[in-house]
Structures are given as structure tokens and as C-alpha cells.
Structure 1
């Protein structure tokens, strides 16, 4: 029988509700029966609105382990009370089992318990509203009584699925909604799949394929009756998909070998192999494809190239890699060889191949360079395989242009790897291009704690660029392209970066006066993709005396003004200061006032305003009243009373 809920009111109930809620929200863990009385009182409290009740229930769910056992009490009531507001909470806290402090053990909350009638009505309401997620959870609770699903429960689910699918009215769309509501993580059998397919093939096709994709490889067997029904219907794509989803590894091996044996035309061979290529990942797949490669060689290479990832990402794929690389090297398919090494080989394996090419004496130099270029070129691989510092130095000693070129992403320093030996060789050889590449990579990195070599490389680069600052024009010509090449997507952590990265502190703070020697450098900084580099340009413009500011007035007005509307406040404030110092004629003042006022209008409409922009408008209006009049500015009104 459902637990009766008696409506109570008055001061006595208010005190009881408040006292029970305070105890439940405190440190005391209540047993399920006592917590149920508190929940009943909260549900019946008329002084609580929906938002307040949700807040209290969130706190209860976080503090009381037995709250999940009472889903049958609070779930239906909240769902009926305000489904849109409480649905997220219900899905997060939905439980059919929980820990009961009263018993000191974990126990289930059976569907046939005291809340059965309310749960049945809730299930019917969720089905009528086509709330698939809530219905699935309630249906599984009723099906299993909160216990792990047994054979009888799974068999009942299959019967319910087929019965509701056949009885659905409204065409394929209605039947697809039935499949969505009754979808459970159980295995579908062929008789039920055949029933669904014969009733509505359009609605059932994708659902059957989804269920088959979850069947383990070792339990695969082809549903010949369903495949026959698909063939008789003329549904050949689905029949082929059933084969790919269900073919056991042994049968696929025999079929692939038969196709390779009897199909002579290369194009037809590829088509047949693709048509019979199985879904899923299993160890035998790589062995079969290597066997096909040995038997038909280049005729099956397009097929093998399309499925390389399935060969080496499957269990046992690493042991097959050496044989595969030897086979493709025998036929000189160096593109496939390089792709396997870059995308799927371990770092030590990749590095061994690079060093083997460097140390090979019988290989012509042109061919060695070609293979190294293939190995270095970064393609579509998700993670770039890097060389060690020793290997990078060995490669640089023989082919420095490759290190500066295609191998650069594989030998550049990072927050965890510094390449101090490579930097020492570059400094010794005065290789400016490689030094600038390494500095560009490190300028936005914060070294990880305990990685001494990264801090060592940063210190050496900082010392190098500080010495270069004695030649300001050479310094700016090298550093400005480095800064303007920084990505706008890099995260800017000013405090931590400038504190722990001396290279960034030197190039972004200490070297600002050097950038003023050439207007083109400041212009490049102001047009950089990264906002913090544009801020550096604005900071540089604020340096120097008024005479220097007057000489760069045009540059300030035309290139710093777009930063007045920047998204980052730091850039806007420095841009406002730079424009205030650099505006030197009435036309520039008018343009600056128009842009600053447009930004301020947008901010003030949102209830906020940048004080630096306000000061800019005031300074320019006072200095250039004619420009302010042309910009349409009027005297600001004073604050009203209060």
C-alpha cells in the first residue's frame, strides 16, 4: 500500500517541518523512515515556493545517503508539480537503491514497495508526455525491482519492446519514439529483431544495427534469417551491414582469402573487400590485411591504407607493426611506411627509425633525405611524435635545414622538454632562424615544476636576447615577427608567466623602448592576432616624451584606435592611454572620439563603463572642442537627486 500523506497546517506543523529539515540538513544522517517524514513535510509545506524547495532538496540529496531510497516519494510529486524546473534534479538524483544509515547497509528500493501506485502513475505520465529518459529509468526499475537484470527480466523487455512497437500508431516516427523509450542496455535476439524489421524496416533498421554494434566480437554469429528477409525485401545495404556487424573473425578470414583468390580485377577486388570489411576492432583484422597485402601486393594497397588505424589500434597491433613495416619497405611504399611510424608507432620506435636512417652508410644521401622528410612532415596525426634531445642534435649536425623545416614541430622546446643540447649547438653555429623558432615556442610557456632543463633553456635565450638588445634595430627586426606570430588562442596568464618565464618578461616588458625605433614594428604589434601583443604595442606607444608622441601621432590614431573596442579591458585601457598621448590633429581627435563614444554607449547600455575611455573622451574634448562638436558630443548631465 502507498504511504499516506496527510495534509497538516498551522504553527505546530511549521515547527515540526522546520525542526526536521534543520536536522536533515545538519551533520546527522537520518534513517530512511525518518527522512521520509521530513520529505513529506517539505512537499506539503505551503510556505515554500518551487525554487526554495529545489534548493532544500539539493542540500538534502548531498547530505543524506538515504535520499535515493525515497525516489518513489519525492520523484512523482516533483515531476507533477513543475516538470520543467525539477526534471534535471530528478535525473541527477534518481536512484533505485541506496545506503540506509538505519540498517548500516546498502539496500534496494523495490518497485512493489509503499510507493508503487505513485510510481505506476509516474510511469504512465512519462509515457504520455514521451519523456524517454525518465520513462527508461522508471521502466527498468519496474522490470528489475532495483536488482541486476536477470534472464527473465531481459526476456520480458524483449516482449514489451516488440508488443509496443507493433501497437504504435502514427507511422515510423511513432515507432522510433517507442524504440527510444524502451531502449535498454540488453542484448537483442534474432526473433525480436526479425519482428521489428518485418513490422517497420525503416524505423527498426538503425536500432538493430546499434544493438549489434555492442555485441562482443567473440559472441558474433550471423543472423541468416534476418539477412534473408532483407534480401527478399531488396534491402541490400542493410544485408551487407548485418554481415559487417556480425561476421566472426574466422569466417571473415576465409571470405577475404576467397575473394583475394578468385577476384582478379583490382577495382572489383577493392569493392568486394570493402563490402565485406567487418565493423569493430579485433586482433585477427591486422593479420588478415597483412596476408592480403602479401598475396595481392599493390592491388589491395588502397584498401589497406584506408584501414590502417584498425590494424594497429586493435589488441596485438603493436606486435604486427614490425612485420608490416618490413613488408611495405620491401615494396618501397614509403608514404605508408612513414604514416604508420608517425601515427601509431611508439616514440622509441619512431626515433630508432630516424637514427637508423642517419647512420645507414649504404643509403644514397638523396634517398635518406627523402625518407627523413617523409618522417618529419606533420600531417593529420593527433599527437606529434617528438625526438629526444640527443637525436635532435644528431639530425641537426647532418641536416640542419630539416631541423629548421619539417622536423621543427618535433624538436621545439615545451613546458616539459627543453632541448638544451640543441640550443647550445644553434648558439654555437649562430643559427638565428632556429634560435628564434625555439624562443617563439617558449615565450608563452610556464615551465613545469622540477623540469630544470626548460628553465635552463629559458635563461640562455633571455641572456641571448638581452645581449642582442645592444643592437636595437637587429633586435626589433627579429623579435617583432616572433611576437606577431603568436596565436590568438593561447591562454594569457600574465602573473604566472611574467614571474616564471624570464624570456617573456624580457620581450614583453623590458624591451618595449626598442620597438619604438621603427613605426612599422609598432604597427605590426598593433595588428597582431594576439590581444596581449597588441597591448604591448599600446604600452610602447605610451613611452617617451611628448615630442616623440607627436611624431607618431598618425600611427597612434590610425592603428591603436581599433583596440579601444577590444574585448579585453587591459588592451582597451592601454589603447586609450596611447591614443590620448598620440593624437596630434583635429581629424584624428574626431575619429578617436567617435570610436570611444561608440564603445562607451554599448557599455553604458549594459550598465557598465570603462573609466579609462571616459577620461579619454574628456581629455580629447577639452583639447579639441571642434572635434568634439563634429563627433556630436554634448555636455554630460550631472547626477540626479539621490
Structure 2
């Protein structure tokens, strides 16, 4: 009977503890010890025994083993019994303290900061901040030079800890220049999402006045923006709007006073500023309208931020289309956005060119969040009725800038819009709607009747397209090419429950192969499952597949260097084998790429399959073999003869 994950966890923890104690007790050179530990580091839970091997390596040679310590250091402690403990309260606490003190004396900032954060992590939140602040003051006051003060602060630079004004003033008194960046990096945050005044976090007026007195306006502004409460900020900016007459100076002052924390009533203040100064404050409003965001109501419903309806009304009355459009696109709820678009579409009294311009102003993403390897955009969706109304009056807008606003998903299936597009035989719009429908997973047909209706209508439409001349293949490839990357999560369930997906991915192989442009579109699609479909097509055992694979070798050979799932990579290998089998010239281009791929450091790369692929190509085209790839046959005399 196989062991459970709990049994495996306890066994691996026990084995790691035993192996580490054995290696550390062995008489060996530093090089041998480092090699043995690097080998152990490949096994599970090596990091979690830092409390055991870290102090031992430090005592042995802190310089030689420092790279290994920093590479595998983890502030957690796992015992041989498989229990997570606080290592600073166990039997190894004295060794850890010695390690910490030695790093402190040697001014090893990186090692000390990691150990220091580890030690404080076991304290309650209030005790942690108090002890940390006292330590910061003690170290900073004890340092006698500017360089020593920078080092002292670098050692205790913990991102999770926050200063209070008393500590900040003490640091500023000793050396304001050395303490400035540290103070600004460890200011407390004022969270006011529920609208409180946050009396427990007062404005640091003493430090702000001291900064202004010595001419450090930037620091005073940073302190104000981080710590100001909503009532104080409102009073100050309205006073600025009344007293500062020069528009450019007013904008500078408003920017220097804009709060960093969430401010629920910010839209109300924007309305008051606009009423006092008119267009003078519009550049400031446009820059900070993204600070206005919907709030949660009862039962999880979204409501407009307080003051946003009044701001939209003021912008409409005064003709500030820039403020109105940005506020609507970035800050309003989906219901408000949809109602405004519907109002514009149904307004036949206004000149059509004006209506078109206003619609263009509100189209597009309302916000973006970009991280390494991940980007998200916030787009306001339209309801089915509004989408049909917009399509009826301005079809080119729905096909173009408003297309992202009708991307179907969990919120809507757009059956009326699909029906309207089918009646108009609008190929561009239908292909886009099909791209979104083909990746939707219908969990319960009884409760998702709109989705069932849409999928049946679109599948019937594509099934009825002519297969001759590549019409179906081009349209299907166009729809598949519009599916975003990483949009399909459960491919097998999708094929099981989505009729349109089955048509595109499983039932149309021969039609794709009959149309070269469709195959290339599939290869260039952003969605990996669509690319895998192309690999499968080009890997089929047929003259047509080999011909198309050779024609698309420029795209196929790039798969050698891409990170792919093993099954997908094997499908790509089959397509590459077909390309090489079609003729010697494609094979001649491919062989050097295959040889270069062996140098990839990826340990999970299926090198054995790569060897088989290269061997298959060289067997088919022996003239491409290198000296080391040419077999030799030895006769009775021992002389080698070429095969």
C-alpha cells in the first residue's frame, strides 16, 4: 500500500534531519562538505533545516559558505518529527544567537537582516514594532559616523515594520540626512476604506514643520500624503482652491497634497473643487480619477462611490467630456456605464457625429494591472440589450472599439447580439463572439440556457459554412486565433461540454489541412491549445501534413526553445519530423537547431525524444550526418569502413 502524503512528509523530514547531521559530523574538507550539502539541497525540506546547518556552516567558515547560506536560507524550522517550531525558542537558539551576533559585529548586512527578521517574526505585532523601534533608535544613536548610521539602518531595514512619530523625530534629531530615506520607507499606512477619520493615526505635524523649516518640501509632502485623513485633506485643498489664484501653482499644490491612502469621499471633494475653480482643476481630476472606485453594497452588489453621480452630472452640464468619459470608464459601476451608453445610443435629438464622438471617448479599458508575465485590464461590460441597440445604430463601433465590451463570459452570453449578427451575417463580429464562446465551460445546461442557445446557434452556423475553397477553415481559424492566451483552464471538460469547441478542435482536421493559411493562423495563435491543434495536424502521417510542416518550419523550429508541456512538445516533435521528411532542404535547416537544443539547461526537457528525432532525420538524410554521427563498421583486419 502506497504511503499517504502525511507519511511521506514525516519520512522526508526525518531523512533530511538524519542526512544533515551525518554530513555535518563527517570529517571532510570544506569543498567536500559544500558538495555534499549542495547534493542534499536537491531533496525536499533542505531549506527548512536552516536552523541546523546554517549555524554550523557559519562557525566553520562564514565567508566560504556565505553564497550557499544566502541561496538556501529560509526563516522556517522543521524538526525530524515533522513539526514546525520557533527555532529561536528551541535547543538551537544559542547557536542562532551566536550567528546573529557574529553577523552584527562583522557588519554583514544581508545575513544579519535575514536573521534579525527571523528572530522578530515570532513576536506579537505590537511587541514586534515596539522592540524594533527601540533597537532602531539604540543602533542609530550609537553610530558615530554617517557611514556607520547608514549601515545601522540597513541592518534593521525590515519592510513589515513601521515607525511612529516619536522614533522618527529621534532619528531626525541625530542625523536628518541619513535618516530621511529610512523614515519615508517605514511610514505607517492610513487605511480609511470605511470612512473613519483614523484618530489613532494623527498627522506628524512636528516632523512636517521641521522638514519645511529646513527647506525639505518633498519630505513634508510625502509625510502629509501618507498620513493625512480625509477631513483634513478636504479642508486644506478647498482652502488652496480659494487662495491660490495661479492655475499652474494650484495644480502643483493639489498634487503635493493628494492622499496616498484610499479615500471614500474623494469624488465629493472633486465636485467641490470643480465648483470652486472650474476648468482650472480638470488636469488634476483627470490624473486622479482612478482614485475613485466603486464600493461594495449589500449582498455583494457594487455601488458607485459617494459623489461620483454628482461628478458625472456636473461634467455633463458643463460640457467637460474629458472628465465625464474618464470617470465613466474608470470609476463607475458596470450598470452606470451601460446606462450612459444606452442613453447616448437612444438620443436621436443630438447630432450623430457628436454621439459617435462621445461613444468613442468612453470605449476601452478603464484600468490595467501589469505584473511580470501577467497583465489584467478592467473593461466595463454592456448588457445584451444595450449591445444590440449599439449594433443597430453604430455597427462599426461594436465591431471596433466596443468589441471588448461585449466579450461574453460568466456575466453574459449575449444571445440577442449573436442572433442579430447571424441575421446580418457579420463575419468579423461572429468570429469574435465564437472565440469567446468556444472557451466557455457550461457546467449546468439548465441554469445556463442562454449559453446553450448561443453555442448551438454558433455551432450550427459554422457547420453550415462551405467546406470547399477553405471558407470554413479560414473562419474557424480566425475564431480560434482570437482566443486569448491562458484563457482555457480545463481543456478536456471543455471538449466534453462545449459543442462549438468540439467542432473547432476535434471534428475539422481535414478541412484545416486543405487550407494552408488556416494552419499558419493556428500556429500563430496566442492560445497554447490552438497551437497544439496545429502541431497535431502537421504531425499526421500524410503527404499533405508533411508539405505544410515544411512550409511552416520557421514557426515550428521555434518550439524547440519554448517551455512546453511534455505532451505538447512531443506533438511539436512529430510536426518537425514531418517537416524534415518532406525534403533535404528543410532537414538541412532543422538539424543545426536540433543539435543546439541539447545545450538547454532544462533538466525536464525530454532529451531522449530529442535524440530520437535527430536520429530519425539523420537516418532519412545520411548526407547531413557529422563525423561523430557516421557509423563505422570494423572488418577482420581492424580497419574501419564507412557504412
TM range (shorter): 0.7 to 0.9
Once the two structures are TM-superposed, the CA of residue 268 in structure 1 deviates from its matched residue by 1.8
* 1:269 matched residue in structure 2: 250
Aligned residues: 573
Once the two structures are TM-superposed, the CA of residue 298 in structure 1 deviates from its matched residue by 0.9
Is the CA contact 1:166–1:199 (under 8 Å) kept in the aligned structure 2?
yes
* 1:3 matched residue in structure 2: none
* 1:511 matched residue in structure 2: 508
Give 3-state SS (helix, strand or coil) of 1:468's partner.
Answer: coil
1:201 is matched with which residue: 154, 164, 176?
176
Separation in 1, partners of 2:87, 2:611: 58
Alignment of 1:90-109 (within 5 A): 91-94=74-77
Is the CA contact 2:329–2:380 (under 8 Å) kept in the aligned structure 1?
yes
Gaps of 5+ in 2: 1-6, 28-32, 192-197, 297-302, 369-376, 561-568, 601-606, 635-643
Separation in 1, partners of 2:558, 2:311: 57
Separation in 2, partners of 1:355, 1:256: 36
Structure number having the greater helix percentage: 1
* 1:243 matched residue in structure 2: 224
Q: Does 1:413 align with 2:408?
A: yes
Change (3 A) 1:544 1:482: same
Q: Does 1:164 align with 2:164?
A: no
Change (3 A) 1:188 1:539: closer
1:148 is matched with which residue: 80, 99, 124?
124
Which has the greater radius of gyration? Answer: 1
Q: Does 1:123 align with 2:100?
A: yes
Separation in 2, partners of 1:531, 1:157: 49
Gaps of 5+ in 1: 1-21, 30-36, 62-66, 584-588, 622-627
2:333 is matched with which residue: 340, 346, 352?
346
Separation in 2, partners of 1:291, 1:86: 58
Separation in 2, partners of 1:230, 1:204: 12
Give TM-score scaled by structure 1 length: 0.73
Alignment of 1:210-609 (within 5 A): 210-214=185-189, 217-312=198-293, 318-360=305-347, 362-378=349-365, 380-381=367-368, 382-414=377-409, 417-448=412-443, 451-484=448-481, 495-515=492-512, 557-560=550-553, 562-564=555-557, 566-567=559-560, 568-581=569-582, 583=583, 589=584, 591-603=585-597, 607-608=607-608, 609=610
Once the two structures are TM-superposed, the CA of residue 320 in structure 1 deviates from its matched residue by 1.8
Give 3-state SS (helix, strand or coil) of 2:332's partner.
Answer: coil
Separation in 1, partners of 2:524, 2:577: 16
Moved more, 602-611 or 246-255: 602-611
Alignment of 1:24-173 (within 5 A): 25=10, 58=45, 76=55, 80=59, 91-94=74-77, 117-118=94-95, 120-127=97-104, 128=106, 129-130=108-109, 131-137=111-117, 140=120, 148=124, 157-168=132-143, 171-172=146-147
Moved more, 285-294 or 510-519: 510-519
Once the two structures are TM-superposed, the CA of residue 398 in structure 1 deviates from its matched residue by 3.6
Q: CA RMSD in A?
A: 4.8
Is the CA contact 2:474–2:515 (under 8 Å) kept in the aligned structure 1?
no
Moved more, 186-195 or 335-344: 186-195
Once the two structures are TM-superposed, the CA of residue 612 in structure 1 deviates from its matched residue by 4.4
Change (3 A) 1:378 1:618: same
Change (3 A) 1:634 1:506: farther
Give 3-state SS (helix, strand or coil) of 2:308's partner.
Answer: helix
Give TM-score scaled by structure 2 length: 0.73
* 1:8 matched residue in structure 2: none
Separation in 2, partners of 1:632, 1:471: 46
